[in-house]
Structure 1
Amino acid sequence: MRSCNGLVCLSNQGCDSICIWNPCTRQYKMLSVPSYANRAVTCLGFGFDYVGNDYKILRIVTKIAQDLRGLIVKICKPEALLYSANADTWKKIRIPDTIKISFWYSVKRFCGPDICGKLYWEGEGGLLPFDLRNDVFGEIVVLPFPNHVQQKRIKKSEILNFEGSLAMVYKSAGDESDLSLWMLDEGGLWIKKFILEMDLELDQVYLYLGAEHFVGLNLFFGYKFYNYRKKMTKELPFPAHLTDVKSVAKFTESLVSLEGFESQE
């Protein structure tokens, strides 16, 4: 799902089986996750509280009520639970009443990367920040191009951590050359940083690796590295037997070991 300081958070499709894993030390920990009897939409976030020196997982569950025909009759207010690696427990987090139910029903299953101690959830028309230090939600940040003007701009990326700032890539509809990176400044304004000129266009940009390189996907030619200074793409060398890539995450080697880790067989 996401990598942070050398630890990788893994989950199944329903986000009700979660594992924290260190590939370098070959240690892991399966988490005990609260279960729900009814159908639910579940989302996950993973980050690090630098002040409290604590790895945290935020799990948001939106219950859905259905009739006998399987049709949705009610979308309940979501519940948020936060896991602390230090405490090894889950606790409830208050969700502001001002956030509409429609936001939660449209929210992405995995939130964006940890950016300066905050996680960002992408839903209908905006991004919702969560402060990992104080364990509170902030105010929704409106996307650079709201829904009513989406015909002019098409979102082409996940939430990106670009040199410590939140960024997203958009494309001008009808203009094949205008694939541009927009960055959120400290004042909450979106600024067009630069145009991504490339020899092979990426249909989706997944993350910024640093050192001028992005990772993205071309639907015909697969996953690619892209250097925005040199304006060139090159193949991402997956082993030949990996034919079904589920996700791509930025990973930095570390020897971090959490309480309760077990050795991988």
Structure 2
Amino acid sequence: MASKRCNNYLSEEMVFLILSYLPVILLLRCKSVCKTWLSIINSPQFVEAHLSNSKKKQASVLKASYDWRVLSSMDTVEDSVELKLPSCLEGKVGYMRSCNGLVCLSNEGCDSICIWNPCTRQYKMLFVPNYAFGVWHCLGFGFDSIGNDYKILWIVTKVVRELRGFIVSMNLKPEAQLYSAKVDTWKKICIPDTIRISFWNRLKRSCGPDISGKLYLEGEGGLLPFDLRNDVFGELVVLPFLDYVEQKRIKKSKILDFEGSLAMVYESAGNESVLSLWMLDDAGLWIKKFNLEMDLELDRMYLYLGPQHFFGLNFIFGYKFYNYKKKTIKKLSFPAHLTDVKSVAKFTESLVSLEGFESQA
């Protein structure tokens, strides 16, 4: 009697699907299994599919510390992992923004900028235009899905001294530069004349996250969008409750990406203080999405991490994860040397790599 053949074969399509759900640390090991797996994992189609699956999971929090000894860590509700930055930026992180598993890092003066993948431990140092008299910097990082390009928006505000008789006046002159990873070059971007100089005078030192292909700069009078697909600034978006005194509202959050939409958290300043999340809809109107619980002790909301979780700070008790549907709070346990945080960013792991990437030592 002929023996029945046991078929343990998995098609390449099935292997592709299974591998696309694994974390990066396992995928890097799977490259050594066989040439077929190596070819699958290195393919652009697989990198894109893996990133798509990663975005469906709750994101992590990437933190950079003021302390030069420990440079950064990646935290979830369940776990915390310390990371080592590229040696060129050890102890010098002033700005940190993340998109699709890549992290844009810069020192305070923005004369050292790099793009880094913490999971694959690859990075690329960028050539940076020289601004000898730049005194105020703003950095944004995002993805142009039409051009398949990662871009960095860099705003430099220069002090220009003008001598008129015996009077010396100082004017703030903003300039914008845009870096394209695809062509590895910077180019100047036209800043709209309709934006008053006072906007740039009060500009926050970093852009918000990439929200559906747009970066938002927060300054006086509202938010200025920058379209990463067309490389142009848009019209000023007025913040809700701009007149804090009259409206009795206090802004309690950074610019948030709430499920693909621009959002902000505000607190009413009445006897019954309530935190509310306000979202910008497709028509350009601010709508209240929901209230957060009344006794939520968070002084600042930094990130929305996906599946119901926010990441915020209580000035006394430290950083916390907050589930707005279950109304639960979990304190983030810091090592003693990581209590002083310079910057935080929402992070989704990926295998994304750029031309010119080098491996960390």
Q: TM-score range by the shorter chain?
A: over 0.9
Q: Deviations over 1:104-141 (max 9, x none)?
A: 11111110010110000000020000000000000000
Is the CA contact 1:168–1:183 (under 8 Å) kept in the aligned structure 2?
Answer: yes
Give the match for residue 353 of structure 2: 257
Determine the C-alpha separation between the residues in 2 that align with 1:98 and 1:143: 17
Determine the C-alpha separation between the residues in 2 that align with 1:122 and 1:195: 23
Which of 258, 261, 267 is 1:171 aligned to? 267
Question: How big is the shift at 1:198?
Answer: 5.7
Give the match for residue 27 of structure 1: 122
Is the CA contact 2:252–2:300 (under 8 Å) kept in the aligned structure 1?
Answer: yes
Q: Deviations over 1:139-188 (max 9, x none)?
A: 00000011464661110000000011100000111345311100001111
Give the match for residue 215 of structure 1: 311
Paired residue type of 1:24: C
Is the CA contact 2:139–2:154 (under 8 Å) kept in the aligned structure 1?
Answer: yes
Question: How big is the shift at 1:74?
Answer: 2.2
Question: How big is the shift at 1:64?
Answer: 1.2
Structural mapping, 1:1-265, within 5 Å: 1-65=96-160, 73-147=169-243, 149=245, 152-197=248-293, 199-265=295-361
Structure 2 counterpart SS, 1:206: strand
Is the CA contact 1:168–1:182 (under 8 Å) kept in the aligned structure 2?
Answer: yes
- Pair 150,87 (structure 1): closer, same or farther in 2 beyond 3 Å: farther
Is the CA contact 2:175–2:191 (under 8 Å) kept in the aligned structure 1?
Answer: yes
Higher relative contact order (CA 8 A, sep 6+): 2
Paired residue type of 1:234: K
Determine the C-alpha separation between the residues in 2 that align with 1:66 and 1:201: 46
Determine the C-alpha separation between the residues in 2 that align with 1:148 and 1:224: 26
Once structures 1 and 2 are overlaid, which stretch shifts more, 34-43 or 162-171? Answer: 34-43
Paired residue type of 2:324: Y
- Pair 232,176 (structure 1): closer, same or farther in 2 beyond 3 Å: farther
Once structures 1 and 2 are overlaid, which stretch shifts more, 48-57 or 243-252? Answer: 243-252
Once structures 1 and 2 are overlaid, which stretch shifts more, 72-81 or 244-253? Answer: 72-81
Structure 2 counterpart SS, 1:104: helix
Q: How many aligned residue pairs are there?
A: 263
Q: Deviations over 1:182-226 (max 9, x none)?
A: 000111111111111165410000010000000000011100000
Determine the C-alpha separation between the residues in 1 that align with 2:127 and 2:340: 28
Question: How big is the shift at 1:46?
Answer: 0.3
Once structures 1 and 2 are overlaid, which stretch shifts more, 171-180 or 213-222? Answer: 171-180
Is the CA contact 2:150–2:180 (under 8 Å) kept in the aligned structure 1?
Answer: yes
Once structures 1 and 2 are overlaid, which stretch shifts more, 148-157 or 200-209? Answer: 148-157
- Pair 87,237 (structure 1): closer, same or farther in 2 beyond 3 Å: same
- Pair 199,149 (structure 1): closer, same or farther in 2 beyond 3 Å: closer
Gaps of 5+ in 2: 1-95
Is the CA contact 2:241–2:247 (under 8 Å) kept in the aligned structure 1?
Answer: no
Determine the C-alpha separation between the residues in 2 that align with 1:149 and 1:184: 22
Is the CA contact 2:162–2:170 (under 8 Å) kept in the aligned structure 1?
Answer: no
Is the CA contact 1:177–1:197 (under 8 Å) kept in the aligned structure 2?
Answer: no
* Greater per-residue strand proportion: 1
Give the match for residue 68 of structure 2: none
Question: How big is the shift at 1:67?
Answer: 8.5
Deviating beyond 6 angstroms after TM superposition, the runs of 4 or more aligned structure 1 residues are: none
* Greater per-residue helix proportion: 2
Q: Deviations over 1:68-113 (max 9, x none)?
A: 9xxx932233111000000000001111110000001111111001
Q: Deviations over 1:226-245 (max 9, x none)?
A: 01001121112334432321
Structure 1 counterpart SS, 2:326: coil
